[in-house]
Amino acid sequence: MPLTRTITELTACGLAVALSPLDIALVLLLLLGSAPLLRSGLFSLAWFLTNSVAIGLLVTVGRSLTLSMEKGGVHQVGIDLFAAGALLALGIRELDPKPEGYEDLSEGWIHKLEKVGQLPLLLLMLMAPLTELLSPDNLFLLAKGAAIVQSGPASHNTEIGLIIYFSLVSSVMLLLPILLVLVGRKQVEPLLQQGKQLIEQRSSLILGSLSLALAGYLGWQGWVGLGEFQVISQVVS
């Protein structure tokens, strides 16, 4: 895959990982608490490192297992279609209207998140890999990102650069509010409060809509790859 196309697809995949309501809400809470820049910065650093290590391991494992990750390869098509199906189910579940009298067990999750934000720094940093790797959509996106890196230019230095780039893009939604606070905390604080309230009130809508959008994107990628896979199969036969 050409480098420009690799970067484009990696950017889209990284931005999808960046739109994690839970982790964005936690960073906003950290910025509204004590030692805001230190705690939010360390959490974001842990998130960045988690992405880098996860992508690096997935690329290494994929290469050691000789998985075919080029466009139209059977493993790439399989990842895309399987991830699309899983994200479609997740999106439908999140957007499904709840029956009258339904008790939402996730209510008050923002208050639980506030307790997480009060953890010691080391434990707080450990929450980054937990919140990321326990999310099904993030796991599929990390696998997709690793597949994109592996299908790019076959150079070790280029792969390292692509992994760092993916990790930066996937951290942008955590870094953006930190940068805004650096510019002017007093002016930004009301916006942080509004952002926290929006995520708290509309988390299911945000997650459901994002999951459906990702399912559509990955489904389209799988469909296009399936067409190329069929062409490759015909050529080989």
What is the structure's pLDDT at 39? 92
Per the prediction, the chain carries an average pLDDT of 78
Least confident of 68-72, 142-146, 188-192: 68-72
Q: pLDDT higher for 234 or 176?
A: 176
Q: And the tokens for 223?
A: 């469909």
Per residue in 150-181, pLDDT tens?
Answer: 877 768 888 899 999 999 999 998 999 999 88
Q: State how far the alpha carbon of 214 is from the alpha carbons of 64, 87, 88, 168, 228, in Å.
A: 28, 7, 8, 20, 21
The C-alpha atoms of residue 207 and residue 184 are separated, in whole angstroms, by: 30
Backbone angles phi, psi at 138, to 5 degrees: -65, -40
What is the structure's pLDDT at 110? 65
The reply to whether the predicted model has a pTM over 0.85 is: no
Q: pLDDT higher for 69 or 228?
A: 228
What is the structure's pLDDT at 69? 47
Least confident of 14-18, 125-129, 171-175, 219-223: 219-223
Q: What's the rounded mean pLDDT across residues 193-216?
A: 77
DSSP three-state, residue 56: helix
What is the structure's pLDDT at 63? 65
What is the structure's pLDDT at 231? 45
Question: Which of 174, 179, 178, 197 has its CA nearest to residue 15?
Answer: 174
